[in-house]
Structures are given as structure tokens and as C-alpha cells.
Structure 1
Amino acid sequence: MRRRSSAPVRSAGKSATKRGRIASGSAHGDWVTLGRDGRLTLYAPTEDGLLRWTETTVGGPGWSGPHFVPVTGLTALTVVQGANAYVHFFGRRERAGVDGAPHVDIVHAIQYQTGLAITDWRSLGGPHRDRGQGREVGPPVGAVAADGTVYVFVRDARGGLALRREAPGGAWRAWEDLGGGGMDAPPAPIALAGGRLEVCAAAETGVLVWRQQEPGGEFTGPRGFALRPVPGTVAALETGPDRATFFWTDADSGGAAAWRDGDWPTELGGSSAGRPYACVRAVVDGYDCVVLAYRNADGSAVLGTGGTENEADGFWWYALAEPCQGAPALARDGLGRVVTALIAPDGVPRVARQEDSAGLTLTRWQALSG
């Protein structure tokens, strides 16, 4: 894989934020999204809100932004996109109550079209009535079913899984206790093209999996598996019709692993990741491939690729030698090219794209400054 040195690119348009405002790290989930108009948008948390950069044309390289969206008290941000291209934001918000004690709730907002305003943030409350337990709730993660139904999951105060989801008509159902225990990191939900959802989480006893038996149905599980992922590294990708592959760092080998229900994990090699892997399917040299990205122990981004559901045939890793905060992101742009994004230590996002050449060759890094 050829790599080029980092170089800044001037963002098009005027900044809609305070001069000098920078990202405070990376968001959770798919924080680079592709709109129905073919333009990419990149989101990142910042002090008291989030920042948004948007491509000015399909395929870039120009970007507008950053645009600042205020959210007071936001302690975690997750970005999720549905098949209808709506972008959903889930946050864990912590504010002082009337008695001065901290109060935690889960908040939600939506962006319906590329570059347009984000809706007001709506509180979804939390799974516990007791404020003390409420403060122990983990960061939210989400998924959007094929029919547009929105789901948000959190680790509750007992280390189990709690769910809140939309009801028909757009109202929200009450919080549901899905059981489980021993989790200390966010789970990995996935919305499959057939309409069902699955959730995978690392726990003290191994791996826990919840499944919908039919679209919109109740969740069964958790079903436990005697596997050893590193908590906080689990990610999910649909790799076959209504079939998910889960990726994580194996606690024994220290490298990446891929697992599908009914089989043993396949070791992929590489070094240890501390956050969930970014993952996307893409065509590389004419083959259907899985592309993974993560931040390694020395703080640099790493990229890997291998055949979809053919992990045993080999997985190839490339050190990108670009330092980052949190986990990188992967997406495909409006021209079908793989895009890798990261938040640099200086708080400025950087992106690189797949070149039209053999292998997964990237362009030089572009810094999205204000």
C-alpha cells in the first residue's frame, strides 16, 4: 500500500462555529456518512456539542465547515445512519439537577438531509428511576432497522442491556430490560438488510448475543459463547444475506478476530485495538472485501483488508503511520471509493481516499481545517 504525506486542504465556505474550536476526539459508530446526494459528512464531538464538515461536491476534495451544533453536557456521542440516509445522533448527557446533583439522560437528534439543520435534541430519559443508578449507565449505541425504526441500546447499572425503540407512528416505547450482565463496554448492534437486528457484547463470561427472530419482533437471549474478546473492541458488519460477522481483538492472541455464529473465530493477525473496529465492505482489485481500521497501542491508525467471509485465506494489514484520537472511521464516497477518516491529536479531522490503482492504495491525507 502506498501512502502519501499529510497535507492541509482549505475548507470551502465560512465556518459556522467559534474560531479555533476543535474536535475533542472521535464519535462512536459510523461518524462519516453518505447522503442521498452522494456527499459525505463527517461528525465529531467537541466541548458542549458536535462539529460537522460536509463535502462541497460528490467525491470531494473540498469540504465546508466546521459547523457547530450545541449540546450542553454531552459526555458521549454516537452516530448511526439508516437505509433512508437519515443520520441519527445519540448522546449521553450529564447535567446538574435542581438539587445540584448530576443527572444523566440519553438524548437523540436527527439530520434528514446532507448539510441541513439537525433537529432539536430530545431526551429519551434512561432505564433507571434511581438517579444513582442512572449515573452508571454507559454510552448509547444505536441501529436503524430496514423499515426506519430506530433502536438505542445502553449498558445499564447492573451490566446488562437496556433498549428503547420507536413504536409505529414515531412515538417511543418504554425502556426494556433485555437481561445479561457483566458488560463494562458498549455492545455492537447491527441492523440487517432483511429487517432484523442482532446485538453482540463482550462480558465477563465471554460473548453475549441477542437476536430478533423477525423484523420488529422481541429479542431473544442473551445467548452466551465461551469466547474471549477484549471489551470495547466489538464491531459488526453484514457479510452475507441476513448474516452478521463480528470483529474484535482476541484477549489471548492480542490480534483481530472474526466470528460468525455456528463457527469458530478466525484469527486475522494485526496488533491490539482498544476501541471498536471500523468496518466496511468494498471492491478491491475486483474482489468483495472487508476493510477494517483501528487505532493501535502507539496511537496510530492501521488499515486491513481481506476477502468477505474468506478470512482464513489471509488478511493484510497496513500501518498508516498517522496518529489519531479514538477510533478511525471508514465509509465509501459517492464515487464508490473507500474513505478513511481520523481525528488527529490536534483535534483536526483528516481523510484519505482509495486511489484507482492496484490494492487498497490511499491518497495523501487531507486536513479539514476551519
Structure 2
Amino acid sequence: MRRKSAGPVGTARQDGPGTPEPGGAPESAHGDWLTLGKDGRLSLYVPADGGLVRWTETVAGGPGWSGPHVVPAPGLTHLTVVQGADTYVHFLGRRERERADGALGVDVVHAIQYQTGLAFTEWRSLGNPHRDREQGRRLGPPVGAVAADGTVHVFVRNAHGGLALRRESPNGKWRAWEDLQGGETDALPAPLALAGGRLEVCAASASGVLVWRQTAPGGDFTGPRGFALRPLPGTVTALETGPDRATFFWTDADSAGAAAWREGDWPVALGGSPAGQGYASLRTAVDGYDCVVLAHRERDGSVTLGMGGTENEAGGFWWYPLGESCQGVPALARDGHGRVVLALIGSDGAPKVARQDDGAGLSFTRWHTLGR
């Protein structure tokens, strides 16, 4: 992989209401914060004080972007972005706000963007699995996945350290909160919607790894089943690497390097020196080979890209420093022309993107900084 010099500042414009501060984002959102719409255009979403900020490609494949467009959402303490096979983009937030009696209330909120670059729905409260207000304030950040039938599943660590679930029914109505049990669970479990319709969830815990598996599409969850493994909390990432089969990537707590694990096998060490955060992951073809691409933030703040054969981790995994610093976790997606795009939040809070060029392997064009 070769690297090219950083690109010039982009020409994106301010075109939204001015409630949140675009520069107020401390780091990236969680989840799929770089998404591909049905029309082939990418969108990029960044948390901001009082809401979030969106940039959108002007045409499929770029290189121009419109934005920033700001979306007010007061009180958000955490933002997760997930996308379904129908390309709808779902936004999950943990919200804190003062109630009428002056006490602090916490709930989970949800909004949807149905079409690229267009308006969001209103933010809808999904409530809190705890009726006790003090327990409710200890609620973790929501993460989510969208099943193959389009139903949204929201997972959150509850005040007891277990996993709570709220999900849609096929008719679009939200079911009540469900207690999936577990204990001392990581605040950021990794749910995965498999193409066959089921969901799986993997989370680090004080005792090792916990895995929940859906029995059938739309069915109940079994587990958690525990495994004596040692992922670093906050680093578990999930990717479908075979038919109805998940591979989980994380940072090993003992070696401090990246690792890949599938249920029924031992973890495979991938090397690298990631910081204690998650990974961006993507399965794509590179020079005709089925590959997994990972991106993470190094301990020194720089971004590194990794690549290896899908479910062939023992055959070698290669890491390439990209010479850029970032905040939070990078994002990976394919653009409307099928090229890999890497996005990050720079040290100054501005998002940057680099796009796969036409050469062999996985080399990238210059970095393009989106306007603020």
C-alpha cells in the first residue's frame, strides 16, 4: 500500500440551522457513521454540542460534499449510527435532561433518515428499562442493529451490568424492554445483523466474553454463553464473514494487539498496536480476493489500516500507517462506485475522507477535509 500526501481543504458549505456547534465534537460517533444511500451517495455524521452534523456527497462517488448541515438534538451524551439493508439510517442517542422537579432524567431516543441528504424524523423516546430514577441514570449508551426485515434492535447495558433490549415488531410497533441477563457487561456490546435474518451480540465482561444468539429471525435470544477470553472493554467489533457466521475483532487485554475470533475456534492474533477503542470493519474484494479491512486509532493517536483474507487470519494480516491523527474510531464504507472510503475525525475536530484509487492493492487518494 502506498500513501499520498494530505489533500486540500474541501469546499463544503454551511446549509443547515445553526443550533449545534459543528466544532463541538470530541470524537466520532459509534457505529456506521459513514453510510451509503440508495442513490449511491455517501453521508457522514459527527456528534456536536446540542445535536449532530451531517455532510453528504453532491454526486455518487464524489469528490464534492455538501454541508455541514446541523441537526438539533439537545441533551445527547452519546450517538450511535446504524444502517439497514434498506439503506435507512437510524440514530440512537442516550439523552439527559432536567425534569419538571429538577431531577436529571435519562432516556434512549431514536430518529431515522429515510433518504440521502433529506430531513430526519422527529426524535422519539424509547424510554428507559428502569423505573427507578437513580438506576435509570446509570444506563449505558445505546448500540443497535437492523435485522434483514428492517426491524430495529436497540441494546443497552443496564444499571445492574446486564444487557437490555428494545426492538421493533414487524408491524413497526415497539415491544417492551427485555432483560437479556448477563453481568458486568462492557458498556459497548457489539450486535450484528446477519444476512439470514438472525442477530448475534458479543460483549466483553469481567469474566471474559459473553455471546447472545437469536434462535431464529425475529425470535428470542439465548445466552449469554460465556467464554474464557480476554478482550479489552470497548474494543469488540462484529462483521459477517460467512453465511450466517460472525467474526468478532477486538484488542486482546494481555498482548494489547488485535485479535479475531469465531465461536468454536481459538482467537487469532493479528498484531498492531491499537488504542483502547473499537475498529472500523469492512468486507470487500481487493484485486479479486475476498478481504477484511480494519481501521483503528493507534496509541499515539494516528490511524492505521489493516487487511487480510476473509476467515484466513492465520495466513497473515498486514497493517499500514496512514500518517493522519484522529479522534475516536475511524469509519469504512464503499462509495457508489464500489471504492473503499475511509473517514476520520481529525485532531482539530474536522472530518477527513480518503478514497481508494485506481492502482493495485488498497491505496488511497489524498485526504479531503470537509468544510466546517
TM-score (norm 1): 0.98
- In the alignment, what sits opposite 2:292? 290
**Is 1:48 the counterpart of 2:50 in the alignment?**
yes
Q: Is the 8 A contact 2:12 2:370 kept in 1?
A: no
The one of 264, 267, 270 aligned to 2:266: 264
Q: Distance in 2 between matches of 1:64 and 1:109?
A: 21
Describe the shift of the 1:46–1:14 C-alpha distance in structure 2 as closer, same or farther (beyond 3 A): closer
Q: Distance in 1 between matches of 2:275 and 2:201?
A: 20
Q: Is the 8 A contact 2:105 2:136 kept in 1?
A: yes
Following TM superposition, by how much is the alpha carbon of 1:20 offset from its aligned partner in structure 2, in angstroms?
6.8
Q: Mapping of 1:127-138 within 5 angstroms?
A: 127-138=129-140
What stretches of structure 2 of length at least 5 have no aligned partner?
none
- In the alignment, what sits opposite 1:327? 329
Q: Mapping of 1:46-125 within 5 angstroms?
A: 46-125=48-127
Q: Distance in 2 between matches of 1:367 and 1:12?
A: 9
Following TM superposition, by how much is the alpha carbon of 1:24 offset from its aligned partner in structure 2, in angstroms?
3.2
Secondary structure (helix, strand or coil) at the match of 1:142 reads: strand
- In the alignment, what sits opposite 1:155? 157
What stretches of structure 1 of length at least 5 have no aligned partner?
none
Q: Mapping of 1:1-370 within 5 angstroms?
A: 1-12=1-12, 14-18=14-18, 21-22=22-23, 23-370=25-372
* Structure 2 letter corresponding to 1:15: D
Q: Is the 8 A contact 2:12 2:371 kept in 1?
A: no
Q: Distance in 2 between matches of 1:125 and 1:206?
A: 30
Following TM superposition, by how much is the alpha carbon of 1:12 offset from its aligned partner in structure 2, in angstroms?
4.5
Following TM superposition, by how much is the alpha carbon of 1:213 offset from its aligned partner in structure 2, in angstroms?
1.2
Q: Distance in 2 between matches of 1:158 and 1:17?
A: 40
Q: Distance in 1 between matches of 2:270 and 2:109?
A: 36
Q: Distance in 1 between matches of 2:336 and 2:186?
A: 37
Q: Distance in 1 between matches of 2:315 and 2:189?
A: 28
Q: Distance in 2 between matches of 1:313 and 1:192?
A: 25
Q: Distance in 2 between matches of 1:8 and 1:102?
A: 44
Q: Distance in 2 between matches of 1:79 and 1:45?
A: 10
Following TM superposition, by how much is the alpha carbon of 1:321 offset from its aligned partner in structure 2, in angstroms?
1.8
* Structure 1 letter corresponding to 2:7: A
Following TM superposition, by how much is the alpha carbon of 1:14 offset from its aligned partner in structure 2, in angstroms?
4.5
Q: Distance in 2 between matches of 1:273 and 1:228?
A: 16
Q: Distance in 2 between matches of 1:107 and 1:321?
A: 37
Identity %: 73
Q: Distance in 1 between matches of 2:303 and 2:79?
A: 21
Secondary structure (helix, strand or coil) at the match of 1:239 reads: strand
Secondary structure (helix, strand or coil) at the match of 1:312 reads: helix
Following TM superposition, by how much is the alpha carbon of 1:106 offset from its aligned partner in structure 2, in angstroms?
0.2
Q: Which runs of 4+ in 1 moved over 6 A?
A: none
Following TM superposition, by how much is the alpha carbon of 1:4 offset from its aligned partner in structure 2, in angstroms?
1.9
Describe the shift of the 1:20–1:152 C-alpha distance in structure 2 as closer, same or farther (beyond 3 A): closer
* Structure 2 letter corresponding to 1:136: R
1:37-96: CA deviations, max 9, x gaps? 000000010000000000001110000001000000000000000000000000000011
Aligned-residue Cα RMSD (Å) equals 1.2
Q: Distance in 1 between matches of 2:26 and 2:119?
A: 22
Following TM superposition, by how much is the alpha carbon of 1:5 offset from its aligned partner in structure 2, in angstroms?
2.2
1:285-319: CA deviations, max 9, x gaps? 21010000011111111100000000000000011
Q: Distance in 2 between matches of 1:283 and 1:17?
A: 40
How many correspondences in the alignment?
370
Q: Distance in 2 between matches of 1:91 and 1:341?
A: 21
TM-score (norm 2): 0.97
* Structure 2 letter corresponding to 1:153: F
Following TM superposition, by how much is the alpha carbon of 1:2 offset from its aligned partner in structure 2, in angstroms?
1.6
Q: Is the 8 A contact 1:8 1:369 kept in 2?
A: no
